[in-house]
Copies of this chain bind each other. A is one copy, B any other.
Amino acid sequence: MAMRTRQSQRRRQVLTRERIVETAVELLDAVGEGALTVRALTGRLATGPGAIYWHIGNMDELLEAATDTVVATALAPRTQPAEAAGTPQDEIRAVALGLFDAVTEHAWLAAQLAVQLTRKPWGPVTLRIFEGIGRPVRTLGVPQGDWFTTTSTLVHYILGATTQNSQATGDGSVPGSEADRAEFLDTASRAWRDLDPDDYPFIRAVANQMREHDDREQFLAGIDLVLAGVTALHPPATSSPADS
């Protein structure tokens, strides 16, 4: 048989790494993290485990690839536009919100971001987010020596906040409606009021705020808090003196 032409082959869809990752994301979105198994994958793709392992090294690598593609998509619109939207602050908020929304849309993403953060702190996922935040930080008036610290603080906050604000379900199942979310917060808030006043005076004091708070709004408030710190430590005064 003659050598097969490289691309123009249409026939039965070939099994590619890309297609496996894509299917993994679908599976994660549809059934939750616990349901992503090689057997579920082989079922959807109509193959055997050997075929999967021919294209991907192992399950962890697949999870990382799935996370990375979703993060890349979430951040993509930010990296392209030739003209910036507005101030660097706006750009930072936009990147942060892109991640926030992605976590809302993909219930499994929060846990995976956390996993990637701890297990592969400088893997592609973290790198991508770092770059997305760091780029506008450069034009924020911060001396170059503080770029890393400033970006790091923002990234840490963003990842910490997005992971907690996710639609957590306890197990790896798929999250419920917004009403469920409200009920969840209500239950939590009520539980807080029953805590021992000696052990948890603060929690009890903020139980009400907790129930009424808007995740997205508060997420942005946190960003602004950090940005206010940046401005305070590095006043945007005209032509800052010796950065030395």
Contacts and interface: CB of A to CB of B under 8 A. Distances in A.
Contacts of A134: 202-203, 206
> What is the interface of chain A mostly: helix, strand, loop, or mixed?
helix
A160 to B, nearest CB: 3
Chain A interface category by residue count: 35 or more
A65 to B, nearest CB: 15
A131 to B, nearest CB: 5
Given A153-B226, A226-B229, A126 B205 contact: no
A156 B147 contact: no
Interface string A215-236: 0001001101111111111000
A166 interface: yes
Interface in A124-164: 126-127, 130-131, 134-135, 137-138, 144-145, 147-153, 155-161, 163-164
Interface of A: 110-111, 114-115, 117-122, 126-127, 130-131, 134-135, 137-138, 144-145, 147-153, 155-161, 163-166, 168, 170-171, 188, 191-192, 195, 199-203, 205-206, 209-210, 213, 218, 221-222, 224-233
